[in-house]
Chains A and B, each alone.
Chain A
């Protein structure tokens, strides 16, 4: 394998893996299930909506009489912020001290706004979904207006948006990784050091793994291979046949 291949693969892996994942509306917490008019609707959201991040809101629309899923409805979502929410015109990078230079969309909404929900945005194509960014924490009101075959109904529920976790909390796996890697490397060096002390005379360093590992199995394996094996007291097992000569 070419080294550049590894590097490119790693880059693609990291960048692709870190790319903004479109949050699909595939359930989460059920916020409302209500029968009204000719519809039965069920509203799901991400379990813990936080401000400034895409939150899935998914709506399943069914017929009241048969429970059949309605796929040609029109679903509009109206979100109203809590009256007590202190929504600041800041964004995550600059923080309060900087001038807000990102778009209002990326900074989240802080006033009532509406957005259509579409099946195309949902991973479960029976549902109508939208990715919504809330501008601040608190109990937001969601009004879903469903229209189908001339009928129109409005459903309402509350969505508790919790304060975002500290930035450091989201980074802890990445911060813990060096610690883990350092411990693993220290262990590796300690083990390799132990192997080096047991290394066979004349055997190249990179064959130490083979030689040391064969400590226990050499007496059985080497005779099968036609090798003579010498086992001294306290000394490492030492192959004396052609393998030893080839390794030397």
Chain B
């Protein structure tokens, strides 16, 4: 029988590993991810994860290197990190994607230092953007559990074979208890068949090297024909990422059929978008808070809805064009900044809707950096302000922030500083 447990977000991720029969885990503690590591250690030592090897490495860099190696050897692998730990893994992130290994990595999202901050902020997730990974988000603890299972299913698809992130907010989800339905492992097996090795270093009948130096152009390998060049490998990664969108949707469809839970169409979720004229676009904790803002604004007579992005890479531009086609204004709330430009979600959405036939006005705000609380009232006010603006689509000369407390810094005002 499936059991409903009261779980922190981090523990939901650990339970998902257990349900997925993960064979090898390597991880290093960092706030706010550490409880994932602790819970999995508990499972392993209590004999609840038979056969699973947990390598307690001495750094995040070694964690990601070890799971990459174990994946190439033939195990289903898991790791998790946050902020600086994730940044320390960075060199190996394109390595996992370039080697086409279905590694799953949970990110308990946290602000990047300096200055030190252990609180939520999406900068760590978005800094991994161009590494070739599938990037998925979760808004609550049940969704963390479900997204980890889906991530394995998609990553291990023979037409995809790419690593995947499952990101959720540090503290807001990682350390907050919520009821989570943990499924029967046999039922999970139906959804997630055993990993089909595609590199499998232990196949001594077909000895192979993995990830060697690669030339700009394909060399002629005689009886083997031409070997791909670097350009072809990266083309293949991009095509697989593009294709993974339909794989994600299909996996999500099967998931909802088996388990009875669904998250929009698997790549984005909507709230009260049916008759909406105005839309909020956000992810993770900000999207969760925006649901309250939608209700609040609707009471004031504004027909607003929410689009919460579930899959950031591959970016579902076709879906977004479709959902925003009858929308006059989109207000985007980013809990990070593409420094020197604007919020990442904001500019990515603008790019996705470029030259679409019915282009809405798009206004972006930066909110909640480094764990600053962001309330539904602030989000609602942002929407209302955006609706009064003219020509919001012009290049933003300055980004707009909601929730700054500059009034407490009188000296800054006095000196005209920033």
The judgment on whether A and B are partners is no
Binding site for A on B (CB under 8 A): none
Binding site for B on A (CB under 8 A): none
